């Protein structure tokens, strides 16, 4: 729900993509129809110059595609995620999250990669020159599998979590987010801000971040950021994602992370996703459309 409507909302807001045709595809006809109605109502309300289509036939969806946004999961998603975390923990394997790295990430990969490779097989047949944008996790493992199986396909893995910095850098530095210019690097879920400066003065903002950051970041109540503060303090570079992602690739991350906050984050995310689906369905039934 979040990525389907979110992708359509972003396309609607893009001048570059104005006039595009979007084709929604899902193997679940009920979910597909709900998402189609939700997105179409938003397009109508905003009078957006976007043409929306939907189909449960994947080959039809892929035909003439220029870009393909892949965002699939195996249901029941959150039940599986809980097992990915709790079963390794039972045997002494402490994962901060278990979604992308460690044995939990392996279990996740074994579920989601086979159907994604089936999708890519169809892409190679129907639209081999299309550009694939993958949102499905485990991000790095999914992308690795695709490139190994279909090396000629054009692919990028995208998880734009750098927007997380928007929540705390402006108040910490006393400047609007629009006044900050970034250069970031690394793998999805495991990257840092390499350079950051103030646009108005051109000055390097890292000295201020290194001075104020560790204490400020540790005191953020809403997000899991203890590991982020430790990395900044120890190595001098700021991770741009949550601990629940960044910590998945370090076996010692458990010792520096607020596990309770990470667990609460995932619990809240699951509840939000489920409630959003229920709310969308109710709005559509009442003929009120949807806000995306």
Neighbouring residues of 169: CB distance < 8 A, sequence distance ≥ 6? 177, 180, 209
Conformation bin of residue 152: beta by default, left when phi > 0, alpha when psi is -120 to 50: alpha
Query: Mutual orientation of helices 226-235 and 206-218 as an angle, nearest 10°?
Result: 150
Active-site position among 160, 167, 189, 245: 160
160 part of the active site: yes
Neighbouring residues of 18: CB distance < 8 A, sequence distance ≥ 6? 49, 50
- C-beta separation of 129 from 123 below 8 A: no
Distance CA 207, CA 171 (A): 16
Work out the end-to-end distance of the chain between its first and last CA atoms, rounded to an integer number of angstroms.
10
Omega before 138 cis (within 30°)?
Answer: yes
Bridge partners, 154 (sequence order): 131
31 by Cβ neighbours in 10 Å (0-12 / 13-18 / 19+) ranks as middle
C-alpha distances out from residue 73 to 145, 169, 189, 228, Å: 16, 32, 18, 28
What residue has token string 């080959």? 59
**So which residues are the catalytic ones?**
160
């Amino acid at each position: 729900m979040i990525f389907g409507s979110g992708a359509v909302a972003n396309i609607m807001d893009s001048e570059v993509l104005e006039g595009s045709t979007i084709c929604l595809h899902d193997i679940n006809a009920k979910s597909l129809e709900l998402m189609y109605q939700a997105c179409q109502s938003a397009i109508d309300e905003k009078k957006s110059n976007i043409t929306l289509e939907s189909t449960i036939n994947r080959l039809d969806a892929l035909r003439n595609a220029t870009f393909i946004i892949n965002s699939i999961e195996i249901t029941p998603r959150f039940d599986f995620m809980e097992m990915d975390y709790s079963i390794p923990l039972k045997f002494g394997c402490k994962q901060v999250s278990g979604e992308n790295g460690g044995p939990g990430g392996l279990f996740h990969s074994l579920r989601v990669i086979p159907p994604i490779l089936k999708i890519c097989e169809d892409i190679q047949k129907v639209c081999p020159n299309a550009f694939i944008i993958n949102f499905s996790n485990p991000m790095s493992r999914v992308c690795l599998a695709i490139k190994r199986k279909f090396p000629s396909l054009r692919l990028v893995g995208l998880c734009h979590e750098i927007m997380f910095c928007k929540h705390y850098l402006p108040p910490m530095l006393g400047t609007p987010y629009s006044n900050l210019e970034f250069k970031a690097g690394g793998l999805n879920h495991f990257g840092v801000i390499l350079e950051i400066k103030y646009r108005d003065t051109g000055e390097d903002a890292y000295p201020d971040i290194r001075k104020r950051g560790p204490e400020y970041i540790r005191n953020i109540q809403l997000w899991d950021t203890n590991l982020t503060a430790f990395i900044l303090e120890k190595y001098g570079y700021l991770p741009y994602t949550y601990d629940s992602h960044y910590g998945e690739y370090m076996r010692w991350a458990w010792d520096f992370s607020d596990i309770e906050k990470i667990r609460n984050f995932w619990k809240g995310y699951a509840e939000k996703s489920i409630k959003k689906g229920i709310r969308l369905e109710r709005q559509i039934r009442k003929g009120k459309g949807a806000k995306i």
